[in-house]
């Protein structure tokens, strides 16, 4: 996973289990944060790709990130697992997209 073009200075959760930082999180929360971070990375990284398949990967991540579904494994469900504001995460995704792609439409 190469995130060299994506600003990761604002992690969703400041630590992972066992690192001894101020916030201890469970393995489930760590997984939830990783799932969301991966979706943001896919949304940003593949939006300007050459291949149709790669761009569809970005569009799929975008649909998932901005969906209103609360079903199991939905974006909102994962946000609930880590007790994070979904609007904050969506704003972060839009900001990362804008930083990488400029004037293209983020959402």
pTM score, whole prediction: 0.78
Residue 6 lies in a domain: no
- The two structure tokens encoding residue 99: 């930083």
pLDDT at 21: 41
Q: Which two tokens stand for residue 91?
A: 């704003």
- The tally of domains found in the chain comes to 1
Provide the pLDDT confidence category of residue 107 given band limits of 50, 70 and 90: low
In a domain, 78, yes or no: yes
Q: Judge whether 20 lies within some domain.
A: no
74 occurs within a structural domain: yes
Summarize pLDDT for 57-98 with one digit per residue, the tens: 999 999 999 999 999 999 999 999 988 999 999 999 999 999
pLDDT at 5 over 90: no
Q: Does residue 71 fall inside a structural domain?
A: yes
Confidence of residue 51 (pLDDT cuts 50, 70, 90): very high
12: nearest Cα among 101, 64, 78, 100: 78
Confidence of residue 30 (pLDDT cuts 50, 70, 90): confident
Owning domain of residue 75: 27-101
Task: Please check whether residue 16 lies inside any domain of the structure.
Answer: no
Percent of the chain with pLDDT over 90: 62
- Top pLDDT among 2 and 18 is at 18
Taken in order 57, 63, 69, 70, the sign of the CA dihedral is positive
Provide the pLDDT for residue 23.
60
99 three-class SS: helix
């Amino acid at each position: 996973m190469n995130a060299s073009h994506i600003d990761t200075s604002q992690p969703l959760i400041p630590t992972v289990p066992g690192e001894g930082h101020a916030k201890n999180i469970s393995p489930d929360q760590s997984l939830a944060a990783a799932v969301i971070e991966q979706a943001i990375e896919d949304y940003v990284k593949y939006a300007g790709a050459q291949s149709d398949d790669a761009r569809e990967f970005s569009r799929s991540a975008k649909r998932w990130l901005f969906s209103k579904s609360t079903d199991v494994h939905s974006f909102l469900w994962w946000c609930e697992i880590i007790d994070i504001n979904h609007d904050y995460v969506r704003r972060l995704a839009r900001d990362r997209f804008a930083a990488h792609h400029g004037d293209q439409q983020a959402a």
